[in-house]
Amino acid sequence: MKTVAAIVQPGFAPFEFGVACEAFGLDRSNDGVPNFDFRVVTPEPGAVPSSMGFSINVDHDLAFADEADLVVVTPVPRDLWNRIDTRVAGVIRRAVERGAWVLTVCSGAFVVAASGVLDGRRATTHWMYADTMTRMYPDIDVDPDVLYVQDGRIITSAGTAAGLDACLHLLRQELGAELTNKIARRMVVSPQRDGGQAQFIDKPLPVAASQSLAPITDWMLDHLREELSVDQLATRAHMSPRTFARRFKADFGTTPAAWLARQRVIQAQRLLERTDFGLDRVADESGFGSAAVLRQTFARVLGMTPTAYRARFSCTTSGGADAAAAGVVEEHAVASLEPVA
């Protein structure tokens, strides 16, 4: 991915637009992160008013978006959801047809939905608008309980912060975990936030809950290689297993086992990028126990095999041709698997 077009239209949301600029528009070459050719585009170049009473000057029309590797779609005002600019809809359809990435932030999903490319696909948007999207587009499988959804090369996200999660999710696929972690550190955000929108709907987050479990999750990260059961974790947290599982799900939006599996995948990504360890050792160091379990979980979560991932993202000087050749063989085994958001 080298070129990124962020589409803005009259009434665009500045914060959501800023998410795209932050993720793809900054020069981070000093950190070893490759720069993208990032451009803001609009149907009618010139002054484009925002939803907050100020305008930005946009020099580029939609032509650049027709060639971009990634098209980012920012929200438009709610009263325009039924009147999407046909020129923008055409750009989105053509992007999907040529295999480019399409990513939406928050209610920008309605713009993509209006283009027709989400019919028959799974998608998400802000939880406040999920029912509206379901009514307007019954052919879309709207999931209101997740931070983002990837279906093929279309990524839809929930609220503003979830848009940043979606951007980092895409960057991990394009740049690998190591460089994406550098980007996240510059942003001072978590490189991988688990959970879903359900924890933000109609109720405040418990102020001290996550802090009370922080020592447990820190300990889990330090002991990824070990077998960690809910009973064991609950004992360390001085809770019953049922209370611990319920509290963990409420705080993190997922089960202890699922959270642990995701952290082990992240650790495996780091080892595949930074070391020349064989798959058996990577599996052992990251807590999977065997290369077979590592391959299965890695393919289910990331949609590619560990060997293919290393061939693409390795930061070491070796591991090139042999790893790439092995990756071609392994890719056939997971070709039918879809990435899991």
Give the distance between the most distant pair of CA atoms in the chain: 62
* pLDDT for residue 155 is more than 70: yes
Q: What is the mean pLDDT of residues 59-65?
A: 97
Confidence of residue 321 (pLDDT cuts 50, 70, 90): very low
Can you give the pLDDT at residue 249?
Answer: 84
Can you give the pLDDT at residue 182?
Answer: 86
Report yes or no: 268 and 306 within 8 Å, Cβ to Cβ.
yes
Can you give the pLDDT at residue 145?
Answer: 81
Can you give the pLDDT at residue 270?
Answer: 87
Average pLDDT, the chain: 85
Q: How many CA atoms lie within 13 Å of 31's alpha carbon, on the beta-carbon side?
A: 16
By residue count, the chain amounts to: 341
Confidence of residue 156 (pLDDT cuts 50, 70, 90): very high
pLDDT above 90: percentage of residues in the chain = 61
Confidence of residue 149 (pLDDT cuts 50, 70, 90): very high
Helix (H) or strand (E) holding 47: strand 46-49
Can you give the pLDDT at residue 191?
Answer: 59
* pLDDT for residue 338 is more than 50: no
Q: Of 70 and 267, which is predicted with more confidence?
A: 70
**Is residue 316 exposed (0-12), middle (13-18) or buried (19+ Cβ within 10 Å)?**
middle
Can you give the pLDDT at residue 162?
Answer: 87
Q: What is the mean pLDDT of residues 153-182?
A: 89
Can you give the pLDDT at residue 210?
Answer: 52
* pLDDT for residue 139 is more than 60: yes
* pLDDT for residue 329 is more than 70: no
Which candidate, 117, 101, 111, places its Cα nearest to that of 16?
A: 111
Can you give the pLDDT at residue 123?
Answer: 96
Confidence of residue 328 (pLDDT cuts 50, 70, 90): very low
Can you give the pLDDT at residue 38?
Answer: 98
* pLDDT for residue 138 is more than 70: yes
Report the C-alpha gap between 110 and 117 in whole angstroms.
11
Report the C-alpha gap between 193 and 211 in whole angstroms.
16
- The conformation of residue 337, written as its DSSP 8-state character, comes to P
Q: What are phi and psi of 49, to 5 degrees?
A: -70, 140
Most confident region among 30-39, 258-267, 296-305 by mean pLDDT:
30-39
SS3 of 101-145: the string is EEEECHHHHHHHHHCCCCCCCEECCCHHHHHHHHHHCCCCEECCC
Q: What is the mean pLDDT of residues 16-34?
A: 94
Report how far apart the first and last C-alpha atoms of the chain are (Å, whole number).
19
Q: What is the mean pLDDT of residues 109-116?
A: 96
Mean pLDDT check: name the lowest of 35-49, 52-66, 251-265, 309-323: 309-323
Confidence of residue 339 (pLDDT cuts 50, 70, 90): very low
- The conformation of residue 67, written as its DSSP 8-state character, comes to T
